[in-house]
Structure 1
């Protein structure tokens, strides 16, 4: 029974997908504009067009990417500095401990 239901569901989904018709997508990489044309079985044509980024949008996107890169670089520098500081503090604490033992002896 379970297999029959699964088989019917698969047939229903494949039929629905087949009924969508042919789909053609044209994308302009330079501007990011995209045009999708779908021809349905009943002969109707549906066209969707999305424009790319405007000049201001492109500048905002580039700024966002620059900030992301700068943040990563700054984070790496801070991490490296913290590691170096931690190592120096350990070394200094070890030196103080050795001196304290010398004085006690």
Structure 2
């Protein structure tokens, strides 16, 4: 019974996907422009076009990416500095502990 139900569901999904028609997407990576052409069941073609980013939009996008990169670099530097400081503190504490043992002995 489960197998029949699963087979029926698979057929229903594949039929629904087939009814959507053929879809072709063409994207220009340089400008970000995208054109989508869909062929419907009745033979008509629907075409949608989106232009890419404007110059201002591209500058905003580039600024966002630059800030993201700078934040990641800063984070790595801060982490490395904290690790170095932690090692130095640990080394200093061990030296003080060793000196204190020598004084007590």
**What is the TM-score of this pair, normalised by structure 2?**
0.86
Alignment-derived partner of residue 85 in structure 2:
85
Q: Which runs of 5+ in 2 are unaligned?
A: none
Q: How far apart, in 1, do the equivalents of 2:44 and 2:102 lie?
A: 94
Q: How far apart, in 2, do the equivalents of 1:65 and 1:80 lie?
A: 23
Alignment-derived partner of residue 100 in structure 1:
100
- Secondary structure of the residue aligned to 2:48 is strand
Alignment-derived partner of residue 12 in structure 2:
12
Q: How far apart, in 2, do the equivalents of 1:83 and 1:2 lie?
A: 57
RMSD over aligned CA atoms reads 1.6
Alignment-derived partner of residue 74 in structure 1:
74
Structure 1 consecutive aligned stretches of length 4 or more whose deviation exceeds 3 Å: none
How many residue pairs match? The answer is: 105
**What is the TM-score of this pair, normalised by structure 1?**
0.86
Aligned in 2, Cα 1:104/1:48: closer, same or farther, shift over 3 Å? same
> Which string of whole-angstrom CA distances, capped at 9 and with x for unpartnered residues, describes residues 43-95 of structure 1?
22211222211211111111111111111111111111111111111111122
